Amino acid sequence: MKSITLKLFLLFITVFVLQACDRDWTSPYDPSYEVPPPTLLNVEPIIDPEPQIEIRWKNNEEYTEKFDIWRKTNSGDYNLIATVAKTHLSYIDDSCVFGVVYSYVVISVFADKSSPYSNSLTAPALIPQPSELNFNTLSDSEISITWVDNCSFEEGFLIERKNGDDFHQVADLNANLTEYSDSGLEVGQTYDYRVAAYTFVNTSSWTIISTVTDFPAPTDLSVTLINDSEIQLSWVENTDYESGFNIERDAGSGFIEIASVSADVTEYSDTGLTVGQVYDYRVAAYTSVNTSSWTSITTVTDFPAPTDLSATGMSDTEIQLNWTDNTTYESGFKIERDAGNGFTEIVSLSADATEYIDTGLTYGESYKYRVSAYTISNTSDFCFPAVGYACSNCISDFDGNIYETIQIGDQIWMAENLKVTHYRDGTPIPNLTSDLDWTNTNSGAYCFYENNVSNADMYGALYNNHIMDNSISIAPEGWHVSTYQDWEELINYLADNGYGDVYGYVGKSLASTSGWEISNVVGNVGHDQASNNSSGFTWVPGGLRSLGGFGSIGSTGGFWSRSNVGSAYYKSLSSHSAGVGWSLNGHQWGNSIRLVKN
């Protein structure tokens, strides 16, 4: 026991001596020792229900015996308000007054020494103000405002409104209410509102919002054609408080009201209209107090004619007509025919019909047709006429020219060269006879070989490649200018089905049986011409046009073709060759054209 006591005494002496020798250590009893201040961590208002503020700090001196809490209001001097034992690191100040801002510092005290002030922190003692102030339009003259109540002890809420320079009180509400409706407002005015909580002693800060009273007009006004004398208006309703909608129409003499419909109605049908007349419509919402802005639209009553009329020879005495029906309300269709002495009606069909077969015709004669739709009130325009030929393997163009056709494999080709002088819609194609005009033009053009129209019957017309760029085709409905792919399919079919020679060349099977320069080489197109044209294609040597003028008639014939990527190819056949050649030609060249059925 004595040994343990001696060891503890020696340990104490050793520690004391070591501390005495440490130059950085100062005894808190030393007159020069400065007590370090605490660190103020947080000051936070507490409402329960009177204003209180909680102060928290960190102790930075292990020898502290107590803490002094000092406070000042606004810009005044600090005053001691409390002293707490060293074991306390927080304090609640319950002597606060609403509306006052307080600043706090804390001092550490040891013996007769006090630390400097800690850092200062500030907190207000305020009634919590309302938050999340929002508004909702109830009508064209009334809005509601809502807020979140953040106070548990308010006596009520004050509502003030500003429409101009100053706020004026419009309501004093009871405690715990969070909504207020304000009526009698003017449409289009800006109103500022502010809300504050209050007790019998104090009032919170204000929470402010700006609003605009509004009466939104209908939107997305659209028109649907119901028939040749009726349209339907539709719109989007953008309020839930209108009394109804006013509808006005202007047929050229100014707007007049034609209807007033009830609230929530979003469509109206207007009848008794005139085909082709322009009508302006406008729609506005209304209440007993106001009318919204107008939403307008312009429409034209229409009775669209049929389109895409085609006339196809079905036999030596029949032609089939086909067209596109562009209405949903016709009573039927009227068909007229011109056999050379003007149009006369031949039949009236029921609604939704899109085809008709005309019978009892004369073989080899051409007939022009047109179709119109009708109702009990109106008749549409006639569609663009189509020409048909009483022949089962023929087609006709806009000019009334009749062409034989031939089926080769799965394809149906014209068996003659095209000679039409109009586009499908009747637009004339320029006939350029001057070499300079032909070379410089940037649009479709045609000519006849040597500018001699007598060459048309045998060789057709020559066209530049701009003809294929026009948005309106030169081909009749259901046909197109031959493409590079059409030619590949044709040549491959002939080669694979025994139409070629021992080398696979198919030129003689395509060439006509006469008109070619004579060739002494067996297998060439110009040799033994009577054996040509086993396919029935009847390729004639129609020559061409180039920068130097016309040439090669009797020795060469060629056709334009278009690839899928838009290049203009020239498919050629010569009396002194056995196969079909090709090249890329510029727009200044003039070549023949063959059509292929779609």
Query: Could you give all domains of the chain from N- to C-terminal order, each with its CATH number?
Result: 39-125 (2.60.40.10), 131-212 (2.60.40.10), 236-300 (2.60.40.10), 307-392 (2.60.40.10), 407-597 (no CATH)
Residue whose token pair is 């209180």: 52
| Residue 14: DSSP 8-state | H
The answer on pLDDT for 46 being more than 80 is no
Q: How high is the pLDDT of residue 437?
A: 93
Of 48-62, 426-440, 527-541, the one with minimum mean pLDDT is 48-62
Q: How high is the pLDDT of residue 481?
A: 93
- 403 φ/ψ angles, rounded to the nearest 5 degrees: -125, 135
Q: How high is the pLDDT of residue 22?
A: 46
* CA–CA distances in Å: residue 523 to residues 97, 512, 517: 121, 14, 14
| Cβ proximity of 462 and 590 under 8 Å | yes
Separation between Cα atoms, residue 199 and residue 180, nearest integer Å:
19
Q: How high is the pLDDT of residue 502?
A: 66
Q: How high is the pLDDT of residue 563?
A: 67
The answer on pLDDT for 586 being more than 80 is no
- 437 φ/ψ angles, rounded to the nearest 5 degrees: -65, -40
| Cβ proximity of 215 and 140 under 8 Å | yes
| Cβ proximity of 71 and 104 under 8 Å | yes
- Mean pLDDT across 372-381: 92
The answer on pLDDT for 336 being more than 90 is yes
Q: How high is the pLDDT of residue 15?
A: 47
Separation between Cα atoms, residue 537 and residue 545, nearest integer Å:
23
Q: How high is the pLDDT of residue 16?
A: 47
pLDDT tens figures, 347-357:
999 999 999 99
Burial class, 593, CB count within 10 angstroms (exposed 0-12 / middle 13-18 / buried 19+): buried
pTM above the 0.85 mark? no
Q: What percent of the chain has pLDDT over 90?
A: 61
Q: How high is the pLDDT of residue 7?
A: 55
pLDDT tens figures, 55-65:
999 999 888 99
The answer on pLDDT for 204 being more than 70 is yes
What is 184-243 written as a DSSP string?
SPPTT-EEEEEEEEE-SS-B---EEEEEE---PPPEEEEEEEEETTEEEEEEE---S--S
What is 518-576 written as a DSSP string?
P--STTSTTSSGGG--TTS--B--EEEEETTEEEEETTEEEEEEE-TT--EEEEEEETT
- 30 φ/ψ angles, rounded to the nearest 5 degrees: -65, 135
Residue 334 banded pLDDT, cuts 50, 70, 90: very high
The answer on pLDDT for 326 being more than 60 is yes
| Cβ proximity of 105 and 70 under 8 Å | yes
Separation between Cα atoms, residue 226 and residue 482, nearest integer Å:
42
